């Protein structure tokens, strides 16, 4: 008799877990209270990138004269942008649904509650041999902010806007906050970002962040770093934010982008012997197993980097471990992180700051977009690629790329790190010319002191 796998949560981690379980011959049930695809497909990666693609196209149209193409000032049809975003979401969601049907995954659309050796959902009990918990996260609010006010939104609510704001105030200068800032500045709104830490985009190479700020400040984004929100005054159609240094900011829309909280409470996990920590994260070991040997965790709800692709990898790994198929610990050594601002930022492995914390002395190789023929041809000269290698062994340990196509070209560095290549090895790989990808070869050669144009 095939094993019974129940997956709780139908986001990127849960979808992959369910499909992988079915591939391995398990009788699989996927329980999702809302829409298949989770936050990534419905409220995150897919809808925001659809909107950001429109913003990038708008930038190109506005700069068309530089290419010898004269066009009138474009008119923004914001409702159509939002409609297109929903069309793309629906296509992707239907794809997930079709995959589940194809693999004979039983999809249950109801709230699931863990009840002993089963999950209760929709008036039925679904018994399991293995339960994979992939319940994800939801946007956090701020306790002293009226989160129900019509001028206050989270990253969910901002995707339901019916009209463009005149002045968007973003509280939180992390990845999500900066992506929405990049979107709305292109669409013509005034944008102000407040971040309580000294640096926006915490975790990114500080030198890259400094350059990034210079680029986006030229577009008009105003940053207040190292500042906190002291209080907020509300009117029917606006808010006034008072910062701790006495600065007052008036805006007609305030986006609260201060992180996300796991959706793990009140669904019976603790009663089933699962440990949920003080940050509401499901505690798992390196095999993704909880304190209950029949329950496993994957995705954002277990903490760590909140990335759809990492969640998918964890979902697949949890199922393979549960079903005793290629049992392995979860390896997070090479996990690319991408920020879809303009310019884009992509990272993998260490940067100099995290390497130092890990006791690794690094050397850096770098190349600037300004010297890349393909980037110049596309009218995107802003950016830099940096590779980091162990100064003693020359083995690659990380990279940060900022500029056009950064999120596409970061992966070859991930492969190089995974394969144990040195900076010299990567620089010796012939890259096609002209391509933006050449920046990786150029960075490696520059770090080795042999780049024809840079050394």
Q: Mean per-residue pLDDT for 61-77? A: 97
Phi first, then psi: give them for residue 212, nearest 5 degrees. Answer: -60, -45
Candidates 21, 23, 19; CA nearest to 4 is 21
Question: What does pLDDT average to over the chain?
Answer: 97
Q: Which bin fits 228, alpha (ψ -120 to 50), beta or left (φ > 0)?
A: beta
Number of C-beta neighbours around residue 60 at 10 A? 14
Phi first, then psi: give them for residue 306, nearest 5 degrees. Answer: -95, 85
Candidates 65, 100, 254, 90; CA nearest to 172 is 254
Cα distance from N-terminal residue to C-terminal residue, the chain: 65
Q: Mean per-residue pLDDT for 398-411? A: 98
Angle at CA 201, nearest 5°, toward 215 and 237? 80
Q: Mean per-residue pLDDT for 180-206? A: 97
Q: Mean per-residue pLDDT for 4-25? A: 98
Strands 229-234 and 130-133: unpaired
The Cα-based distances of 180 to 44, 136, 159, 440 in angstroms read 11, 21, 10, 28
User: What is the per-residue pLDDT for 454?
Assistant: 85
Instruction: Please give the class, per CATH, of domain 4-138+261-322.
Output: alpha beta
Domain over 152-258 is classified CATH 3.50.50.60? yes
User: What is the per-residue pLDDT for 455?
Assistant: 72
Q: What is the pLDDT of residues 111-148, one digit of tens each?
A: 999 999 999 999 999 999 999 999 999 999 999 999 99
Q: Mean per-residue pLDDT for 257-275? A: 97
Q: What is the pLDDT of residues 152-190, one digit of tens each?
A: 999 999 999 999 999 999 999 999 999 999 999 999 999
Candidates 157, 134, 192; CA nearest to 310 is 134
pLDDT of 252 > 90? The answer is yes
Is residue 298 within 8 Å of residue 330, measured between CB atoms? no
Catalytic residue among 103, 342, 405, 433: 433
Give every CB contact of residue 29 below 8 A, 6+ residues apart in sequence.
4, 5, 6, 7, 18, 105, 106, 107, 108, 119, 126, 128
Under the banding of pLDDT at 50, 70 and 90, the label for residue 92 is very high
User: What is the per-residue pLDDT for 449?
Assistant: 97
Phi first, then psi: give them for residue 177, nearest 5 degrees. Answer: -60, -40
Instruction: Report helix, strand or coil for 99.
Output: helix
pLDDT of 1 > 80? The answer is no
Where are the domains positioned within the chain? 4-138+261-322, 152-258, 343-448
The Cα-based distances of 358 to 242, 334, 353, 354, 390 in angstroms read 39, 15, 9, 6, 11
Same CATH topology for 152-258 and 343-448: the answer is no
* Greatest Cα pair distance in the chain: 69
Q: What is the pLDDT of residues 369-391, one digit of tens each?
A: 999 999 999 999 999 999 999 99
Total-model pTM: 0.96
User: What is the per-residue pLDDT for 342?
Assistant: 97
* Percent residues over pLDDT 90 in the chain: 99
Query: What superfamily would CATH give domain 343-448?
Result: FAD/NAD-linked reductase, C-terminal dimerisation domain (3.30.390.30)
User: What is the per-residue pLDDT for 423?
Assistant: 98
CA distance 65 to 368: 25
Catalytic status, residue 242: no
């Amino acid at each position: 008799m095939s094993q019974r796998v129940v997956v709780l949560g139908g986001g990127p981690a849960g979808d992959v877990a369910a499909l992988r379980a079915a591939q391995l011959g398990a009788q699989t049930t996927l329980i999702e209270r809302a829409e298949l695809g989770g936050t990534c497909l419905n409220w995150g990666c897919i809808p925001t990138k659809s909107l950001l693609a429109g913003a990038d196209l708008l930038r190109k149209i506005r700069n068309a004269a530089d290419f010898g193409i004269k066009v009138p000032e474009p008119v923004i049809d914001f409702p159509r942008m939002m409609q297109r975003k929903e069309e793309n979401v629906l296509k992707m969601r239907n794809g997930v649904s079709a995959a589940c049907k194809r693999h004979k995954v039983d999809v249950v659309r109801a709230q699931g509650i863990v009840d002993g050796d089963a999950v209760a959902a929709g008036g039925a009990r679904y018994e399991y041999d293995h339960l994979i918990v992939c319940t994800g996260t939801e946007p956090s609010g701020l306790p002293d902010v009226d989160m129900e006010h019509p001028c206050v939104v989270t990253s969910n609510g901002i995707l339901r806007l019916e009209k463009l704001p005149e002045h968007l105030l973003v509280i939180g200068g992390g990845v999500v906050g900066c992506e929405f800032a990049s979107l709305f500045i292109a669409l013509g709104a005034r944008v102000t970002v407040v971040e309580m830490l000294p640096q926006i985009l915490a975790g990114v190479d500080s030198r890259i962040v400094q350059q990034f700020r210079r680029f986006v400040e030229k577009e008009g984004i105003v940053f207040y770093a190292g500042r906190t929100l002291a209080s907020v005054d509300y009117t029917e159609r606006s808010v006034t934010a008072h910062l701790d240094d006495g600065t007052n900011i008036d805006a007609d829309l305030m986006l609260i982008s201060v992180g996300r909280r796991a959706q793990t409470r009140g669904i019976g996990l603790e009663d089933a012997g699962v440990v949920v920590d003080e940050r509401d994260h499901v505690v798992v070991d390196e095999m993704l197993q909880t304190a209950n040997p029949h329950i496993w965790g994957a995705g954002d709800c277990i903490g760590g980097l909140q990335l759809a692709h990492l969640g998918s990898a964890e979902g697949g790994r949890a199922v393979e471990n549960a079903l005793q198929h290629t049992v392995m610990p979860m390896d997070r050594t090479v996990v690319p992180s991408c920020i879809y601002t303009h310019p884009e930022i992509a990272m993998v492995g260490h940067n100099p700051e995290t390497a130092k914390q890990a006791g690794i002395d690094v050397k850096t190789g770098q190349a600037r977009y300004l010297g890349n023929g393909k980037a110049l041809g596309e009218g995107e000269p802003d950016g830099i690629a940096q590779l980091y290698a162990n100064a003693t062994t020359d083995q690659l340990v990380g990279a940060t790329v900022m500029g056009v196509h950064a999120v596409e070209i970061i992966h070859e560095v991930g492969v190089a790190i995974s394969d144990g290549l040195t900076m010299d090895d990567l620089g010796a790989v012939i890259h096609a010319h002209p391509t933006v990808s050449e920046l990786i070869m150029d960075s490696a050669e520059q770090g080795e002191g042999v780049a024809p144009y840079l050394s």
